[in-house]
Structure 1
Amino acid sequence: MIPTNERPSVTLPEHWTAVVPELEDVPRLGELRGRQAQPFTGSAGYDAATVEAEVAGQMSWTRRQTVVRDADGVIRAWAHAHDRAAGRAVIGVEIDRTLPRDVQDRLAAWCYDWLTEAAVEFARLREQDVTQLDAGAFAGDDTLRGWLTAAGFERARTWWQMSRPVTADDAAPDALPAPKPGVTVRQVAHHDNGLPVAEDLTAVHRVLEEAFRDHFNSYLESFPEFVQRLREDPGHRWNHWWLAFVDDPADPEAEPVPAGALVATVSPADDGGVEGTYVDYLGSTPAARGRGVATAMLHAVVADAAGRGRNRVGLEVDADSPTGAEALYVHLGWRTKYTTESWHRDVRVD
């Protein structure tokens, strides 16, 4: 059990309390999240469905969280930890930036202490000796960077958040190039009841595990954990999963093999009321690289988004990767909207 009001190193202001958030708190939590992001994204909007899922939906099942209320009962901070995998906890803190700076700093210190204990509890239940705390920050948010540094975190990676405009013209049959010879792309197969075929789902998981094996901070994730985690997202749709297949040049008569996978979600409506598509995962096996597999899948998801009346496709790119993948995205029309960072801290489980 995690104590809520005090920590050895810092205490909350007098008459302030920490409690588990309730469904009625969603608008205030979304407000805190949106305002914290606004200087860097240009919008104070937030995904209400995601916040609700984190607080009282499927996403809450793998999370521990607390909100800090001031003496008048107003929520001033939200700390949340996601049991992402064995030895990994993804954490986040949203703090009311209108408070005096010394109060913000005090709340941040308390929240990171609380989150450290939550992550240690996750790791202990999973019988891990060490756990990694993974926190995100917007590039340029020096206040949050300062809190993370004070809490013992180090900046580990930089990410470009990119977006490509989509128009109805992208849905035309010849608007986008066809896959290269020997490459085919299709959505995962579905049963008559709309649920996906197991063979295709396991193929997606297998391809992505192989594709990301040599990437930054990669780890093996079991198939059940992978599927459950993705299904928790309110934007999840089974018809947003794609597989790419390649022929064997040495044996043209052989059955094409899975060599690429793309998993996307529905992005919430923008200020104009139009939804978008977001690419959560895109990967191809090492043996298939250089054959245009990634390009073919990106063309497929753009055409799909256009056919659904959406106006954008977003994705995240590792800015520190030596592969130069961003050149492909820029060539295909993606541009960086803003930049984020990953901050890590390893904690030993006593």
Structure 2
Amino acid sequence: MTDTTVPLAVRVAAPQEVPQPGPGLGLTWRPATLDDGQAVAALKVRCQEADGLPYRTSAVEVVEELEGEWRDLRHDTLVGTDPAGTVRAWAQVDTAPGDERVVRAFVEGDVDPEWRGRGIGTALVAWSQARARQLLAASGKELPARIATYGDDATPDVARLFEAGGFRPIRYYTHMRRPLDVPLPGIPQIDGLRVVPWSPELDDAVRLAHNEVFADHWGSEPRTPEQWRAARSMFAPSWSFVALDDAGHVVGYAVSGRYEHDWPAAGYPSGYTELLGVRREWRGRRVAVALLAAVMRAYAADGMRYAELEVDTDNPSGAHGIYAALGYEVAHSSTMLTIEL
């Protein structure tokens, strides 16, 4: 357990200088810019194809990550180009400005399949961890601290690379899907509640409800308005729904994304439920079922073959069991690895 009586700056042991990858690795290193979105996405797609992953990254998603109002690309990103100028490796560190319980820094990186096995990945992990420690120390938040990354379980070499750098598996997630060409669940009628389509007028109330709902979920932290708005490139308003009580208060929500660039790799079109939550006082009354049933119908009406979502296997609300009862099955899984400070 983290000893928070020790000052954060001492606990994280931030180095004065971040170790840059050496010239002997064969690449030229510089910070990323927004203009690198297409090249970084192409690198990530080459990696995903080589690793046989059922999803792809778009340039829009990369740019969206980089243009957060709190980002410092000059210090928090790194791109490695070969002599022809092609991006062959990259890494980034990102913080979450709304953190109130645990202050976090998320790291990620990719190395072109043709350039693996040369020590580049090890250098990127070292760079990322050092920069993450600097960001945590500079946060000024005297809280438990965490450096975190996610790894698809289909790429164990990535997990081993991070473990060699001091990361340890801490949390496990399952990606689940449900076919839509079989009978869909009915939408239960719940006294004092109605399910309505998402609208811009409800958006910030949904954000506040989400912050409250996930306050008791491991690893979840409040999202500021800036964070909430920053993850919208794949948002599907017509596939998103809100549960309201008789007073018009948000008691539950289902926020969906439309990831068309994933469909060729997955082999089918799908709707993805990115966020699903129900306020504590309404749990156990089938609000989640009503929201998911509405979502499935919206997906099916637009010709989708599957409804998909991801769940923490230790989710305290029993979500995994709810999804399984509705016909969702595990498609693949991932792991969070961290350094707890």
TM-score category (smaller protein): 0.7 to 0.9
1:36 aligns with 2:50: no
TM-aligned CA deviation for residue 317 of structure 1: 0.9
1:235-250 to structure 2, matched below 5 A, reads 235-246=234-245
TM-aligned CA deviation for residue 16 of structure 1: 2.6
TM-aligned CA deviation for residue 263 of structure 1: 1.6
Q: Which residue of 2 aligns with 1:345?
A: 339
Q: Which residue of 2 aligns with 1:115?
A: 128
1:164-179 to structure 2, matched below 5 A, reads 164-167=178-181, 176-179=185-188
Please tell me the root mean square deviation across aligned C-alpha atoms, in Å: 3.2
1:225 aligns with 2:218: no
1:325 aligns with 2:319: yes
After superposition, the Cα gap between the structure-2 partners of 1:315 and 1:165, relative to the gap in structure 1 and judged at 3 Å, is: same
Q: SS of the counterpart of 1:79?
A: strand
1:81 aligns with 2:93: yes
TM-aligned CA deviation for residue 46 of structure 1: 3.2
TM-score (norm 1): 0.77
TM-aligned CA deviation for residue 225 of structure 1: 3.4
Q: Which residue of 2 aligns with 1:162?
A: 176
Q: Which residue of 2 aligns with 1:314?
A: 308
Q: Distance in 2 between matches of 1:205 and 1:62?
A: 25
1:215 aligns with 2:217: yes
Q: Read off the aligned partner of 1:271 and give its amino acid letter.
A: P
Q: Percent identity?
A: 22
Given that residues 15 and 70 in structure 1 are in contact (C-alpha distance below 8 angstroms), is that contact kept between their aligned partners in structure 2? yes
TM-aligned CA deviation for residue 309 of structure 1: 3.1
TM-score (norm 2): 0.79
TM-aligned CA deviation for residue 337 of structure 1: 1.6
Match of 1:201 among 194, 200, 203: 203
1:322-344 deviations in whole A, cap 9, x for unaligned? Answer: 65422221222222221111111
Given that residues 198 and 241 in structure 2 are in contact (C-alpha distance below 8 angstroms), is that contact kept between their aligned partners in structure 1? yes
Given that residues 160 and 317 in structure 1 are in contact (C-alpha distance below 8 angstroms), is that contact kept between their aligned partners in structure 2? yes
Q: Which residue of 2 aligns with 1:260?
A: 252
Q: Mean alpha-carbon deviation: is it higher for 156-165 or for 127-136?
A: 127-136
Q: SS of the counterpart of 1:66?
A: strand
How many pairs were matched up? 316
Given that residues 68 and 77 in structure 1 are in contact (C-alpha distance below 8 angstroms), is that contact kept between their aligned partners in structure 2? yes
Q: Distance in 2 between matches of 1:126 and 1:6?
A: 17
Q: Which residue of 2 aligns with 1:251?
A: none
1:14-42 deviations in whole A, cap 9, x for unaligned? Answer: 65321133566545433432343346654
After superposition, the Cα gap between the structure-2 partners of 1:72 and 1:144, relative to the gap in structure 1 and judged at 3 Å, is: same
Match of 2:110 among 77, 82, 94: 94
Q: SS of the counterpart of 1:152?
A: coil
Q: Read off the aligned partner of 2:92 and give its amino acid letter.
A: H
Q: Which residue of 2 aligns with 1:193?
A: none
Q: Distance in 1 between matches of 2:69 and 2:304?
A: 25
TM-aligned CA deviation for residue 149 of structure 1: 1.0
1:278-337 deviations in whole A, cap 9, x for unaligned? Answer: 212111112111100001000111111222333332211112336542222122222222
Q: Distance in 2 between matches of 1:323 and 1:41?
A: 32
1:271 aligns with 2:264: yes
Q: Which residue of 1 aligns with 2:81?
A: 69
Q: Distance in 1 between matches of 2:227 and 2:146?
A: 19
Ranges in structure 2 where 5+ consecutive residues have no aligned partner:
1-14
Q: SS of the counterpart of 2:204?
A: helix
Q: Distance in 1 between matches of 2:220 and 2:58?
A: 27
Match of 2:155 among 119, 130, 141: 141
TM-aligned CA deviation for residue 73 of structure 1: 3.6
Q: Mean alpha-carbon deviation: is it higher for 21-30 or for 68-77?
A: 21-30
Ranges in structure 1 where 5+ consecutive residues have no aligned partner:
190-195, 248-254
Q: Mean alpha-carbon deviation: is it higher for 336-345 or for 63-72?
A: 63-72
Q: SS of the counterpart of 1:128?
A: coil
After superposition, the Cα gap between the structure-2 partners of 1:22 and 1:202, relative to the gap in structure 1 and judged at 3 Å, is: closer
TM-aligned CA deviation for residue 275 of structure 1: 4.9
Given that residues 135 and 342 in structure 1 are in contact (C-alpha distance below 8 angstroms), is that contact kept between their aligned partners in structure 2? yes
Given that residues 180 and 291 in structure 1 are in contact (C-alpha distance below 8 angstroms), is that contact kept between their aligned partners in structure 2? no
Q: Distance in 1 between matches of 2:43 and 2:330?
A: 24
Q: Distance in 2 between matches of 1:27 and 1:221?
A: 27
Q: Distance in 2 between matches of 1:257 and 1:228?
A: 21
After superposition, the Cα gap between the structure-2 partners of 1:263 and 1:47, relative to the gap in structure 1 and judged at 3 Å, is: same
Q: Mean alpha-carbon deviation: is it higher for 332-341 or for 287-296?
A: 332-341
After superposition, the Cα gap between the structure-2 partners of 1:181 and 1:308, relative to the gap in structure 1 and judged at 3 Å, is: same
TM-aligned CA deviation for residue 144 of structure 1: 0.9
Given that residues 77 and 91 in structure 2 are in contact (C-alpha distance below 8 angstroms), is that contact kept between their aligned partners in structure 1? yes
Q: Which residue of 1 aligns with 2:299?
A: 305
Q: Read off the aligned partner of 1:157 and give its amino acid letter.
A: R
After superposition, the Cα gap between the structure-2 partners of 1:139 and 1:28, relative to the gap in structure 1 and judged at 3 Å, is: same
Q: Distance in 2 between matches of 1:203 and 1:25?
A: 35
